[in-house]
Structure 1
Amino acid sequence: MATSAPNPYANIGFEDFRRLAQQPGLSKYERIGFPDSYREGFEAEIFRDILGKLPRLNEDRQVILDVGPGCSDLPVMLIEHCAARGHELHLVDSAEMLGHLPDRAGTHKHAGLFPNCPDLVAAQQGRVNVLLCYSVLHYVLVDAAFFRFLDTALSLLAPGGEFLIGDIPNISKRKRFFASETGVRFHQEFMKTAERPEVRFNQIEPDQIDDAVVMALLQRARAQGFDAYVVPQSRALPMANRREDILIVRP
């Protein structure tokens, strides 16, 4: 049985992305860990999906924090949107990534690895209205403890604050998709093969996010008094059939 194409960016972390940000010849999507075909032409739709899940982004003069924005068009859209709304925007990533992003009034760049940025964490306790972490959680697995990452992020939310952990590559969801007839056809067309994808249920996949991790994050957030939900991505997004989002709200 065939398997889907391997991910050349699996199991890399913060220091690897610092190097990618400086590597000549890479596209802006390759610098953030994606083949061009996975992001090119899709980021406007991704941003629309984010706006739909984080309604406070469409209010005025909010405090916004983006953890791991990278350097593609998506953070540029966020920067321009926040400038138009009068938001106070904070971006946390490596200096090398942040250097590719434009400077705007109201946008503050913080070079470092979240949550290992004590000055930022201390300054933003309980005042963040919108926290965005998109296509980052699987790299947290390499660089930080999941619960420490989550607990620190939750401590920053203001009352009514919204936290989107977006684009989570859940291996359990991926298996369910590739075990379906729709997933089989997708695999065969994408890989140009007549073979069916190999799917093994009830098997632990080291260094992968699965349903157990997703549910543990929900339970951890709820135990601290937050509402937490698993939400689907828009069907227009390139990996909606095998990725999902977590939305956490402070009541």
Structure 2
Amino acid sequence: MAVFDDIGYEDFRRMAMDESLSAHEKIGFPDAYRDAHEAAIFADIASKLSNLSRPGQNVLDIGPGCAGLPRLLIDACQQRAHSLVLVDSPEMLAHLPDASGVIKLPGFYPDCDTELQPWLGRFDAILCYSVFQYIFVEASFWKFLDLSIQLLAPGGQMLIGDIPNVSKRKRFFASETGIRFHQEFMQTTEVPDVDFLAVESGKIDDAVILGVIMRARAQGCDAYWLPQGAALPMANRREDVLIVKP
């Protein structure tokens, strides 16, 4: 939907207050992309952020939004006595429940680095899901990555999840499977137009993801390029990066 194109932090603040939008639409997704999928998405997240299964962890969620995923995370953290810090606009955070052990930090990450200073080296798990593409356009994504690594505790894990990779998207829609998917979804006989040589300004591609992995490794972390579970609604064109501080 065009309403979800080229949006950023200030747009999300406005959308959070728009009562005509569903919870999924407030965070930039048509309902069909998230309805009935959030349990599978959270299971995929938890399988990669294995520290979430341990008791008494410090957890940071960057840009949780206001739909079902942060509620699943809040419940999981409550069950295991985690401390959970949620960083997002005050308008988004107002939609999320207050709970014991949950700290709401209003602001635009990574520009809230001063407020996060007490947490340097303390987070066992950091989640940034379906958000990196906006940080990539609106902020210094090196500052985003460098601050996140500084916030990780020894043994800490960070999942940059649901990254829309234009390179992966092109490979998919150039394949027989992708062509069938496009034709069935769009109810057309046309073949999707794919130009591997086109420069996609403002879009994340293989080079950006590889740069994130290499910069994390240069700072002493292990970093991995991971597929999403096949059951996830956008697994054919999105993927994840896992960063682990030894």
Further displaced range: 112-121 or 135-144 = 112-121
TM-score (structure 1 length as normaliser): 0.96
Q: Of residues 66, 69, 76 in structure 2, which corresponds to 1:74?
A: 69
Any stretches of 5+ residues in structure 2 without a counterpart? none
1:147 is aligned with what amino acid?
Answer: W
Q: Secondary structure at the match of 1:142?
A: helix
**Does the alignment pair 1:125 with 2:120?**
yes
- Contact 1:170–1:211 (CA under 8 A) maintained in structure 2: yes
- Count of residues in correspondence between the two structures: 246
Q: Of residues 182, 185, 198 in structure 1, which corresponds to 2:193?
A: 198
User: Counterparts of 1:107-122 in structure 2 under 5 Å?
Assistant: 107-122=102-117
User: Counterparts of 1:42-121 in structure 2 under 5 Å?
Assistant: 42-121=37-116
Cα distance, 1:203 vs. partner? 1.9
Further displaced range: 64-73 or 113-122 = 113-122
Q: Secondary structure at the match of 2:4?
A: coil
Cα distance, 1:43 vs. partner? 0.4
The residue that corresponds to 2:223 in the other structure is 228
Any stretches of 5+ residues in structure 1 without a counterpart? 1-5
The 2-side partners of 1:169 and 1:8 are apart by: 18
**Does the alignment pair 1:168 with 2:163?**
yes
The 2-side partners of 1:179 and 1:76 are apart by: 37
- Contact 2:113–2:147 (CA under 8 A) maintained in structure 1: no
User: Counterparts of 1:144-223 in structure 2 under 5 Å?
Assistant: 144-223=139-218
> Which structure would you say has the larger RCO, counting Cα contacts within 8 Å and 6 or more residues apart?
1
The residue that corresponds to 2:31 in the other structure is 36
Cα distance, 1:142 vs. partner? 2.6
Q: Secondary structure at the match of 1:204?
A: coil
- Contact 1:226–1:249 (CA under 8 A) maintained in structure 2: yes
The 2-side partners of 1:83 and 1:229 are apart by: 28
Cα distance, 1:7 vs. partner? 5.1
The 1-side partners of 2:5 and 2:146 are apart by: 25
Q: Structure 1 runs of 4+ off > 6 angstroms?
A: none
Q: Of residues 216, 219, 238 in structure 2, which corresponds to 1:243?
A: 238
The 2-side partners of 1:97 and 1:145 are apart by: 22
- Contact 1:167–1:245 (CA under 8 A) maintained in structure 2: yes
